[in-house]
Amino acid sequence: MSRVRGLASTLLKELQETSKHTLKDQQKVLQKRNEAMAAYRKIQASRDGKGQPQVEDQKHQNPIADISFIDHILQKEHSLDPKDELHVENLATFVANHREYCILLERYNPGISMTQENKVRKTARRVGLEVPEDVKS
């Protein structure tokens, strides 16, 4: 019984750690999307002669908060087949190793998560040039 609880709590911890990084990235994307939508609605409202538009912020919820099967295992005395125990153990190991892989990938390939705009800007700086600012009309 305690082995199953230990595996479930390990799996839950690994999933929470993995989700922290993922949620930060998703929040950045949603922030940009919300800013673009606000700008679009502002332009659309001024064109239509309306007042300030109301913009609803989209928020991404943590998917790990909804894992009820892990809570079920942690709260109740529950036994698993040895095959299922091995499956949960393998899953926890996979999630931990995948999280470590992503950290190492980011550390040794810093440009992998960089936007195209930043890549162009850094490449230009490397050869002594500056990318001109966008001209807005």
- The neighbour count for residue 6, using CB atoms within 10 Å, is 14
Check pLDDT > 50 for residue 135.
Answer: no
For residue 124, the surrounding DSSP H or E stretch is: helix 116-126
**Cα 59 off chain centre by:** 12
Listed by start position, the domains of the chain span 2-126
CB 12 within 8 A of CB 67: yes
Q: What is the pLDDT of residue 86?
A: 84
pTM of the model: 0.50
In the prediction, which pLDDT does 128 show?
Answer: 93
> Are the beta carbons of 54 and 102 closer than 8 angstroms?
no
Residue that has been written with the tokens 């750690």 in this structure = 17
Cβ atoms < 10 Å from Cβ of 60: 12
Rounded CA gap, 74 and 33, in Å? 38
Measured over the CA atoms of residue 88, residue 90, residue 91 and residue 97, the dihedral's sign is positive
Tens digit of each residue's pLDDT (9 = 90 or more) over 42-75:
888 888 877 665 655 555 555 555 556 566 555 5
